Structures are given as structure tokens and as C-alpha cells.
Structure 1
Amino acid sequence: MSTRVTPVVIEGIVPVMLTPFDASGAIDYRGVERLIEWYLQHGCDALFAVCQSSEMQFLSLAERTELARFVVDIVGGRVPVVASGHISDDLDAQVQELQAMAATGADALVLVTNHLDPHNLGTETLLANLDYLLQRLPMGTPLGLYECPAPYRRLLSDEELQACIATGRFIMLKDVSCDLAVVKRRVALAEGSALRVLNANAAIAWDAMRAGSAGFNGVFTNVHPDLYKWLRLQSHVAPALAEELATFLVLAAVTEGMGYPALAKLYHQRIGTFASIQCRAIDYDVHERYWALEAVLDKVVAGTEHFRARIKALQGQHR
């Protein structure tokens, strides 16, 4: 049965928010506030709080809900805020955590697909668990779907996605297929519905946006969201520059394997957003493991500023 919810549109450049921690390991809320303002200053269209990049698997339920509520309060309606915090396999625990997150005031509540089918049993299990949750979540709360890669990547089948769309309650899918053909097919399936498909893979980011993906929701929105936004909205102005930028963004994102999210926190420590690069998800010294980490980040930063300067010059020519 389809039940329509209050229209909320999640599209454009949507960062997966980081969580800064202080030296004691507690959430650094001053750092969170500075991060929010940085996102907004760089043109982000919505924020995804309490997700894997936020280290949600390492936050207590109280921390997850407090963090989401804080983000909603600081944003103050300037852009939509979606939040997940969906980390449990037990259905009753899921109901508890999702109801608590729904009460934070976030514009949408994002469900993680692998927790809808914890043992990868298939469509029947996923849809039965989804129905159980939908009956217990606030009817007026818009919902999202997130193919989070941890603890395992549970991609939705076309049948499952269609079933979710048919409920009328889902407004976004964070697509982690990393497959342009799949993105195109999902965009077609969602046509005419409230659901927007947001690709999260940098390797296909520009191609996916040109193919109808409603935006980008990948981890390097934590370094240069404005470059992705220019590519989405203004690439037609300078096609050759867009080709160069798209290639740079792909290569920069390859460094995700070098200790992310500490890598992104190191960037934000450099620019004054964070006081520390401390993580709960990482229990090793990233500099010791990745010997050239600072040098690699230097190049990513240099490339980012290079393209920002070229875009600024281009915009000056068109005034």
C-alpha cells in the first residue's frame, strides 16, 4: 500500500559528514559546527549526518541521536539534513534506534540495506524486514536507502527498489553499485517518483550525473564539494576543463584507501576545521602505515586549488 509523505527533495552535492573527536575521544561539537559551515560555504545542497563516514558504527545510540539533533539545529533549515544511525541487525533494536533518530528533526531517515537483510538471505527476507520497520516508523517521516559497504555491501535488486518506490515513502537512494549501467537503470525505475538516485562512486560521478543521477554523495565531498557542484551544474560552459577536472576528481578519490576518514580529517585539521584527526574507526597511526600520506595530500590540495582558481577565472570572464 502506498502512503505519500511530505515532499522533501534530496539532490545535488550531499556530503557524508565526518565526526571530529577531541583528545579524550568525545565528539568535538565545535568542530562539527565549523564543518557544517564549511560545507555550506562550499555550496553543498544537503547534508548526510550519522553515516559510515561519521563512524556511526562506533557511536552509542545516545551519541548518534545527539549528533543528528545538533546538526539539524546548527543547519537551521538552510539545507535539508538526512541521518541514518542504522547499525543493528536485531529488528527490535533497529526499531529503537530508528525511532530515536526520527525524533531528532532530520528531514529524512536513511535505512541501511544490509541491516534489512543481515545474512544476505534474499528478497523475501529484505522486504519482510522492511515491512516490519515501516509499520513502526513515523508515517510522516521521509525515508532513504543506503547501500552501506559495512558490514557487507547489500545492493538492491530492481524488484526490491521498485517495491520501496511503490510505498511512496522513499525519497533518496545512496547508490553504491559503482556501475554506471546500474545507475542508469535505477534512474529509469525511479522516474516519476519522489525517489532520487545519488551516486556515491567518484569514478563514475560525472558520467552518472550526466545520465540522470540526482547528484553526488561520495566521500570526497569532504575535500572539494564545490568542484563536484561545478561539474554538475556548469560543465557545459567549458567542456575541456570539465574533462580535466573529472579526471582529477577520480584520481584524487583513489586516495580514500589511505586511511579515510583520518585522511579527510587531516585535510580539515590543515584548514582549521578540526583540532584533531582522531578516529574511532581507525586503530592505527595513518602516517606510519602510509609513509607518503602528507605528500599525497599536498598534491590533492594543490590540484583542488588549481581547479578552483581556473573555475574562478572562467566565471570572471562570463560576468
Structure 2
Amino acid sequence: MTQSFSGLWPVMLTAFEEDGSLDLPGVDALVDFYLEGGSGGLFAVCQSSEMYELNDDERLTLAARVVARVAGAVPVVATATFGGALDGQAAFVRRMADAGVSAVVLLPNQLCAAEEDEATLWPRLEHMIEATDPVPLGLYECPLPYHRVLSPQLVSRLANTGRFRYIKDTSRDPACIGPKVEAVRGSGLALFNAAPASALASLRLGAAGLSPVAANLYPDLFCWLCDNKDDPRAEWLQARLSMFEAGVRPHYPQSAKRFLATRVGLPIGLRTRVQESDWNGYDQSVQDAMVAMLGDVRARLGATR
């Protein structure tokens, strides 16, 4: 059966033990939380997962654990390009595919330098496509180490290869997202918007779904928006999702882990591998206000979490 790539796809956090090692039971708890919130798929080994702070064995272990926990309920994708020679990156794509993911994600910013254009990037993508055949692939416009946003023309060429299933768009701008939606229309490539502020606009333009970092805190609300984009309350919810970013972005991913541990009760710690910042009373007051508003939003929408 062909898996559906649509709806909400959270960009997963990684749970760590206090000593910094992978907390695999914590990863299981995260997966369960995302699924209970209605997620249609999961993006493991991404920037929210602190992928650049993991070694290759940990990346494979994490992806395999998520696949096992999901047990076929939804598709899982994971990143497998982390620089170096193209053939070496292609080899790791194959290893990641062996972990059982539905598609292996390529980072365009790992295939060429910031000053190189798409005329240089395209043949390198072609090489990766050929060297990994027949592995299903994905794309992620990751903001780090530098932000490369793909043109609609390149996205169309990639869609026409028939190999790509998922693209996380990080342009945030509906004026950029719309042409890409048209570029993938009718192909097997599904476009997911990363930005809460343009979530509703992108869905109405025809995006397959959403992959925002804020889905780590309240996936049910993004799922509601995906399922109800034409509901009269959708614009009301969109405005609140935009406001809630003030309680998510500062200190992320620590802010998300703190929310899940203290507000949701997930059995995960606050440990991160990226540089942690000081959480103070102001940060807590912002998150407290967001929590209070979340209750009001769920009451109006009839959500149950």
C-alpha cells in the first residue's frame, strides 16, 4: 500500500539522558505523543532532533527506533546527508534506508557551498539520485549551516524524477510556496510548510501539510488546521498559532522539552546537545501565558488534549 504523505509531520525532538546519551524510552514517549495528537507522519533526524550533534550510529539508531515505535501507523523520514564526498553521502543514504524509513531526506546545503548556484547543485542532486536508486528521497531546506531555498524550477525537475516524496519548505512566504505547490502538483512529491505564520495560507494554496517546530508542543492544533482549513474558525486559530511562537522560539529546543516535561508530563529530561541558554522568570511567564491560551483555544475548537 502506498503511504499517504499529508497532514501534520512534526520535526521530532531527540530525548537525551542526563549524561547526553540517547534516551530511547523518551523517544518512544515523544512518538506516542505525536501520534496521539493526530500526526500523519514524522520527520526524525532533523534540525529539531539536533542532527548535527549526533554521530552516524546515533542517527541510524534514532531513525530505527522511531520506525519501530510507529509500527507502520504513519510514514517516517530521516536525514542522511552530512557533508563530504557525494559517494560517501550516498552510501549513508542507503544505510538510513535500511533503518526502515519511508524516505531518506537530502540537505541541499550539504551538497554545495553557499556561493554556488543551482546550475552547480543540480548535477550533484542527479548524482545522488542515481547513486541511491531506488531509495525514495526527500528534501529539507535546512537553515543551518546556511539557508538555501530551492527555486520552483529546481523543485519541478526533482519532482519529475519520480524519486522524491517529501519536501520541507522553509521560505515561510506564501509568494514562494505557491509556485512550488504548482511545481509538485500531480507528482508524488508532497510539500510541507515549516512556518506557523503562513500555515493556513499554504494549506489553502494546496500544500500537502505542515512541519513546524511548534508541532512539538501542540500537534493537535496543527492537525486541526490541516483538517479544517476552510472552517470559519481556521483564521482565528491561525492568528493564535502565530502569537504562540513567542513561547516556542526562544531557547528552542529546550523550551519545547521543558513544555513537554512540565506541562504535558512526558518522561523526558531537559538535556540538549546544542548550547543551552538560561531559562528565567520572563521565559516562564511567556510560556505560562501560552499555556493559558492553549486551553481557551482547545475549548473553542472542541479539542480534547
Q: Give the TM-score normalised by structure 1.
A: 0.90
The 1:96/1:286 distance shift into structure 2, 3 A limit, reads farther
- 2:12/2:42 contact within 8 Å kept: yes
Q: Matches of 2:84 and 2:174 in 1, distance apart?
A: 30
Range with bigger deviation, 109-118 or 199-208? 109-118
Cα deviation digits, residues 225-259 of structure 1 (max 9, x gap): 1111212222544x1x3222111101112444311
The match for 1:308 is: 298
Aligned to 1:262: 254
The verdict on how the C-alpha distance between 1:188 and 1:268 changes in structure 2, with shifts beyond 3 A counting, is same
Structure 1 window deviating more from structure 2 (254-263 vs 143-152): it is: 254-263
The alignment partner of 1:171 has SS state of strand
Task: State the shift of 1:143 in Å.
Answer: 1.0
Alignment counterpart, residue 277 of structure 1, candidates 259, 262, 270: 270
**Corresponding position: 1:233 with 2:227:** yes
Any conservation in 2 of the 1:265–1:274 contact (CA below 8 Å)? no
Match of 2:82 in 1: 87
Distance (whole Å) between structure 1 residues aligned to residue 171 and residue 229 of structure 2: 24
Residue 155 (1) aligns with residue 145 (2): no
1:294 corresponds to: 284
Q: What is the SS of the residue equivalent to 2:296?
A: helix
Structure 1 pair 190/285, CA: closer, same or farther in 2 (3 Å)?
closer
User: Which is further off, 77-86 or 40-49?
Assistant: 77-86
What are the residue-to-residue correspondences of 1:119-134 with 2, within 5 Å?
119-134=114-129
In the TM superposition, residue 211 of structure 1 has moved relative to its aligned partner by 1.2
What is the total number of aligned residue pairs between the two structures?
303
Which secondary structure state, in structure 2, belongs to the residue aligned with residue 292 of structure 1?
helix
Q: 2:31 aligns with which of 23, 33, 36?
A: 36
CA contact (8 A) 2:249 2:255 kept: no
Letter in 1 for 2:271: Q
1:3 aligns with none
Q: Contact 1:99/1:138 (CA < 8 Å) preserved in 2?
A: no
Counterpart CA distance in 2 for 1:204 and 1:157 is 18
**Secondary structure of residue in 2 paired with 1:177:** coil
Once the two structures are superposed, residues 131-158 of structure 1 have per-residue CA deviations (whole angstroms, 9 ceiling, x without a partner) of 221122141x211110000001111122
* 2: CA distance, partners of 1:130 / 1:155: 15
- Report the TM-score, using the length of structure 2 for normalisation: 0.94
Structure 1 residue 303 displacement after superposition: 1.6
Alpha-carbon contact 1:89-1:118 (below 8 Å) kept: no
Identity of aligned residues (%): 37
In the TM superposition, residue 95 of structure 1 has moved relative to its aligned partner by: 2.0
Change beyond 3 A, Cα 1:257–1:227: closer
Structure 2, unpaired ranges of 5+: none
Residue 8 of structure 1: how far off its partner (Å): 3.8
Equivalent residue in structure 1 for 2:242, among 231, 250, 259: 250
Q: Does 1:107 align with 2:106?
A: no
